[in-house]
Amino acid sequence: MIELSKLSPDYEVRRLTEADADEILTLMRGNPQFYRYCGRQNTREELLDDLRLTPPGVELSRKTYAGLYDSRGLAAVLDLIDGYPGEKDAYLGFFMLRMDLQGRGLGTRIVQELFRYLGSEGYTMVRLGIDKGNPQSTHFWKKNGFVVTREVERDSGVLLAAERPL
């Protein structure tokens, strides 16, 4: 089970719920490049669905949809699935940093802290998907040690399945 208080020493971390939808949408709408490539519209309805979305056969209790807060409010959002696809894996379904914080190494610092925590808890692999053609996401995840393992066709486009050992 993911302990929110241990995800980052630099940010206040708390579970996000439907009550946080407006705040989450504000952060997401500040990052329009992401939505050019993912085939989604960035609507309230999609966000509310995402808060409950898990891979097939995975219980909602294994999902952590968390917000990282700084003195100005919501700084980052992450969606983490515990023990998927394998027992010692974590699946990072979504990570987004507030636009004014990007380009300073803060996103890398947050995910590196996350990797340290997951490794200390016995996880051995982090997996995620990158929207093919998104240069910003592709660069960020490769810079943080992810290797693309295959391409997955979806209705909304091609997803690059990637993984990083811990």
Domain boundaries, the chain: 4-165
CATH topology of domain 4-165: Aminopeptidase (3.40.630)
pLDDT digits (tens, 9 = 90+) for 49-78: 999 999 999 999 999 999 999 999 999 999
Q: Mean pLDDT across the stretch 106-114?
A: 96
Res 34 pLDDT > 70: no
pLDDT band at 40 (very low <50, low <70, confident <90, very high): low
Residues above pLDDT 90, as percent of the chain: 80
The 10s digit of each residue's pLDDT in 138-164 is 999 999 999 999 999 987 778 899 999
Show Cβ contacts of residue 109 under 8 Å, excluding neighbours closer than 6 positions.
10
Give the separation between CA 34 and CA 44, rounded to whole angstroms. Answer: 16
SS3 10: coil
In angstroms, the CA 87 to CA 110 distance is 23
Contact residues for 59 (Cβ-Cβ < 8 A; gap 6+): none
β partners of residue 13: 68
What's the DSSP call for residue 33?
H
pLDDT of 104: 94
Residue 102 to residue 94: CA distance in whole angstroms: 16
pLDDT at 36 over 70: no
